[in-house]
């Protein structure tokens, strides 16, 4: 798959319409989200490429996190939230009433702004998901999943001698990598990251960015970020949101060097946001 293929093109209405992407992992069509009376996301259509990093950027309150949460149905947990439209993963409608949401959330992992390890040991943080999903038939298999997940999250070498220590005793950056290991442990296909570095210092941020770059070999990653520099560093594709509308999306390099829409231009040049 060409990870830099165009994501969206602007239409006459000012909202964007999705360009087809060869073998997209996620396809959203005319997604609208209301929180009570508030129309937070307006007719968002987009294809998200497999095994690439897609960044969602835009000013505060434009709907980036709302759209991210649509992809694993986290918005279901907000009683006043209503989602319409269609989102498919591998052509399967994830809002189909027969779909098992627990299974969906195993396929679509999530990493949040603030590292949120369980108040349990490092080992247990990673072992919990595979255990409840019945992924391991023995302690040895579970040990293997834990080690493999910690290695993929670039944390193994730092914690292998203290797996029984509490996860909450790690540094912020290590905690965030532990949360990434926890997400990886249930073999997701997609990892959603909602501003995963906003609570971290520049060194811990650089480590997570490096990790994201490695993870894209095996996972489809969608990241919400306030940092345009971060979007430029880690993503192959970028989507720009403004006032609930997906204004424009495409290869990251093009979005940052020659955006099609004036609003994108104004945002990336710092005129608002
Ligand atoms: N649980 C909620 N209840 C009511 N309104 C909400 C809720 N979550 C988000 N909103 C509203 O929906 C709109 C989009 O919010 P969202 O958090 O998706 O934006 P965002 O682009 O991720 O913002 P930020 O960059 O500040 O995190 C905002 O107007 C926000 O106030």
- Give the CATH number of the domain where residue 60 resides: 3.40.50.300
**194 Cα: distance to centroid of ligand 1 (angstroms):** 12
In this prediction, residue 14 carries a pLDDT of 43
pLDDT at 20: 57
In a domain, 154, yes or no: no
Q: Which residues of the chain have pLDDT under 50?
A: 1-6, 8-15, 17-18
At residue 22, the pLDDT reads 74
Question: Are the CB atoms for 257 and 250 separated by under 8 Å?
Answer: no
- 62 Cα to the center of ligand 1, angstroms: 7
Q: Is residue 159, in this structure, part of any structural domain at all?
A: no
Ligand 1 centroid distance, CA of 184 (Å): 27
Q: Could you tell me if residue 33 is inside a domain?
A: yes
Residue nearest to atom 26 of ligand 1 (CA): 60
Q: Is residue 91 part of a domain?
A: yes
169 close to ligand 1 (CB < 6 Angstrom): no
pLDDT at 7: 52
pLDDT at 225: 96
Residue 271: CB within 6 Å of ligand 1?
A: no
Write out the residue range of the structural domain in which residue 224 sits: 8-114+191-268
Three-state SS string over the chain comes to: CCCCCCCEEECCCCCEEECCCCCEEEEEEEEEEEECCEEEEEEEEEEEECCCEEEEECCCCCCHHHHHHHCCCHHHHCCCEEEEEEEEECCEECCCCCCCHHHHHHHEEEECCCCCCCCCEHHHHHHHHHHHCCCCCCHHHHHHHHHHHHHHCCCHHHHCCCCCCEHHHCCHHHHHHHHHHHHHCCCCCEEEEECCCCCCCHHHHHHHHHHHHHHCCCCEEEEECCCHHHHHHHCCEEEEEECCEEEEEEEHHHHHHCCCCHHHHHHHCCCCC
Q: Considering its fold, how many domains does the chain have in total?
A: 1
ipTM of the complex: 0.97
pLDDT at res. 1: 42
Ligand 1 near 38 CB (within 6 A) = yes
Per the domain annotation, does 224 fall within a domain?
yes
Evaluate whether residue 129 is within a structural domain: no
Q: At what angle do helices 122-132 and 172-184 cross, to 10 degrees?
A: 20
**What per-residue confidence (pLDDT) applies to 5?**
44
Residue 147 counted as domain residue: no
For residue 226, being part of any structural domain is answered with yes
């Amino acid at each position: 798959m060409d990870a830099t293929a165009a994501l969206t093109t602007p239409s006459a209405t000012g909202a964007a319409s999705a360009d087809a992407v060869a073998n997209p992992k996620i396809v959203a069509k005319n997604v609208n989200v209301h929180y009570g009376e508030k129309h937070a996301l307006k007719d968002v259509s987009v294809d998200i490429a497999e095994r690439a990093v897609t960044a969602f950027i835009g000013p505060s309150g434009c709907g980036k996190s709302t759209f991210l949460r649509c992809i694993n149905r986290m918005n279901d947990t907000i009683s006043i939230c209503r989602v319409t439209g269609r989102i498919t993963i591998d052509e399967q409608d994830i809002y189909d009433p027969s779909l098992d949401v627990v299974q969906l959330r195993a396929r679509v992992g999530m990493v949040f702004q603030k590292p949120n390890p369980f108040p349990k040991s490092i080992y247990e943080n990673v072992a919990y998901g595979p255990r409840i999903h019945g992924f391991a038939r023995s302690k040895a298999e579970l040990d293997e999943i834990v080690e493999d997940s910690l290695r993929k999250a670039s944390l193994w070498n730092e914690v292998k001698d203290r797996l029984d220590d509490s996860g909450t005793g790690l540094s912020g950056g290590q905690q965030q990598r532990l949360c990434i290991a926890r997400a990886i442990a249930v073999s997701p296909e997609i990892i959603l990251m909602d501003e995963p570095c906003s609570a971290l210092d520049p060194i811990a941020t650089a480590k997570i960015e490096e990790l994201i770059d490695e993870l894209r070999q095996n996972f489809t990653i969608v990241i919400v970020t306030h940092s345009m520099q971060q979007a430029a560093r880690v993503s192959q594709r970028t989507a720009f949101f403004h006032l609930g509308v997906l204004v424009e999306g495409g290869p990251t390099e093009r979005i940052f060097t020659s955006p099609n829409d004036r609003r994108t231009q104004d945002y990336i040049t710092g005129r608002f946001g």
